[in-house]
Amino acid sequence: MSQAKNAIVTGSTSGIGLGIAEAFAGAGMNVVLNGFGDQAEIEQTRVRLEETHGVKVLYSAADMSKPGDIAEMVGNAKAALGRIDVLVNNAGIQHVAPIDEFPDEKWDAIIAINLSSAFHTTKAVLPDMKSQGWGRIINLASAHGLVASPFKSAYVAAKHGMLGMTKTVALEVAEQNITVNAICPGYVLTPLVEKQIPDTAKARGISEEEVIKTVMLGGQPTKKFVQTDELGALALFLCSDAAASITGTALPVDGGWTAQ
Ligand code: NAD
């Protein structure tokens, strides 16, 4: 990258988003962090990234289920950094239950946060990316964007939808040096996954240890969780000029899960 780029990474106060933000800051990019959590911890992370890497790191508390918050986050980021070069749509939540017991409000929240937020952020950043003639949009889908598992109807629907949107936007902006790709991780041991272990145990009638061994790592041939720094490295590569011809893809990083 010839000049310092500016990136927004949604849902970057923990897990994969934080891993991507770390990789970006480490490569000299300015980053807007977003997400929920303990305010003092978030501020510590923000300052640590700034001081370690000598870049600007901002924080937005925008709720990705609220289009008004999203517009404000993008507007503030542009005002503070001048322009947005890279957008990572990563914020996400999960709920595990059979569909006939699936709470309506969980369905709505998962579709809003895991899918519709990416529509609103993309719509907000694209006009400037087009006028700059350069941009990178990276959508965190999932192996569950490619295949299903029971009891995750909203999540699987949202992630399949994310792949459809990725392909569509990639085609719309293909001639403008803007690439749009989806990363499809297998299981990564983040708070999102830790929280679903008890519910999956209940839904399947097995122990929490069995959930990790058989449900999560059973289908992942490497028998290892994917690491957040591996996903950070891939996101960084997608931002490079070497990745200029990679667009409209769904890139599995799943230890072989979807090869089966
Ligand atoms: P995580 O729970 O560690 O992080 C989720 C982030 O999203 C946090 O920063 C959280 O504060 C933020 N967030 C949640 N609701 C939000 C909202 N309404 N507005 C703004 N921010 C919000 O989870 P993770 O595992 O790092 O997941 C990140 C993304 O990767 C998600 O889209 C998830 O579906 C996807 N993913 C995760 C895995 C995995 O195994 N962990 C696998 C495949 C895909």
Per-residue pLDDT of 113-129, as tens digits, reads 999 999 999 999 999 99
The pTM assigned to this predicted structure is 0.97
| Alpha-carbon gap, residue 96 to 200, rounded angstroms | 6
Which residues sit opposite 255 in a β-bridge? none
| 77-86 pLDDT, tens digit each | 999 999 999 9
| Alpha-carbon gap, residue 123 to 131, rounded angstroms | 14
Mean pLDDT over residues 48-72, rounded? 98
| Alpha-carbon gap, residue 226 to 109, rounded angstroms | 26
**3 state SS of 185:** strand
Topology of domain 6-187+227-253, per CATH? Rossmann fold (3.40.50)
- pLDDT at site 129: 98
Q: Which residues approach ligand 1 with their CB closer than 6 A?
A: 11-17, 34-37, 63-65, 90-93, 113-114, 140, 142, 185, 187-188, 190-193
- pLDDT at site 1: 44
Counting from 1 in the atom list of ligand 1, the atom nearest the Cα of 91 is 7
Nearest CA to ligand 1 atom 39: 188
Sequence ranges of the domains in the chain: 6-187+227-253
| Alpha-carbon gap, residue 44 to 70, rounded angstroms | 23
Long-range CB contacts (< 8 A, 24+ apart) of 114-118? Answer: 114/154, 114/155, 114/158, 114/159, 114/162, 115/158, 115/161, 115/162, 115/165, 116/65, 116/67, 117/10, 117/64, 117/65, 117/70, 117/89, 117/91, 118/89, 118/162, 118/165
Looking only at the bridges linking them, the beta strands covering 135-140 and 178-185 are: parallel
Would you please indicate which residues are annotated as catalytic (active-site) residues? 155
Cα 209 to averaged position of ligand 1 atoms, centre (Å) = 22
Q: Ligand 1 pocket: which of 8, 16, 73 to mutate (most atoms <8 Å of CB)?
A: 16
Mean pLDDT over residues 155-184, rounded? 98
The average confidence (pLDDT) of the chain is 97
Mean pLDDT over residues 135-149, rounded? 98
Cα 197 to averaged position of ligand 1 atoms, centre (Å) = 15
CB 7 within 8 A of CB 85: yes
- The candidate with the shortest Cα–Cα distance to 246, out of 178, 182, 171, 179, is 179
Mean pLDDT over residues 92-113, rounded? 97
How far, rounded to the nearest angstrom, does the alpha carbon of residue 120 sit from its chain's CA centroid?
14
CA-to-CA separations, 8 to 95, 102, 133, in angstroms, rounded: 25, 32, 18
Q: How confident is the model at residue 3 (pLDDT cuts 50, 70, 90)?
A: confident
| 20-40 pLDDT, tens digit each | 999 999 999 999 999 999 999
Mean pLDDT over residues 66-75, rounded? 98
Spatial strand order in the sheet of 30-34? 57-60, 30-34, 6-9, 86-89, 135-140, 178-185, 250-253
Counting from 1 in the atom list of ligand 1, the atom nearest the Cα of 16 is 26
Hey, what are 200's tokens? 């999956």
Cα 172 to averaged position of ligand 1 atoms, centre (Å) = 27
Q: Is 2's pLDDT higher than 60?
A: no
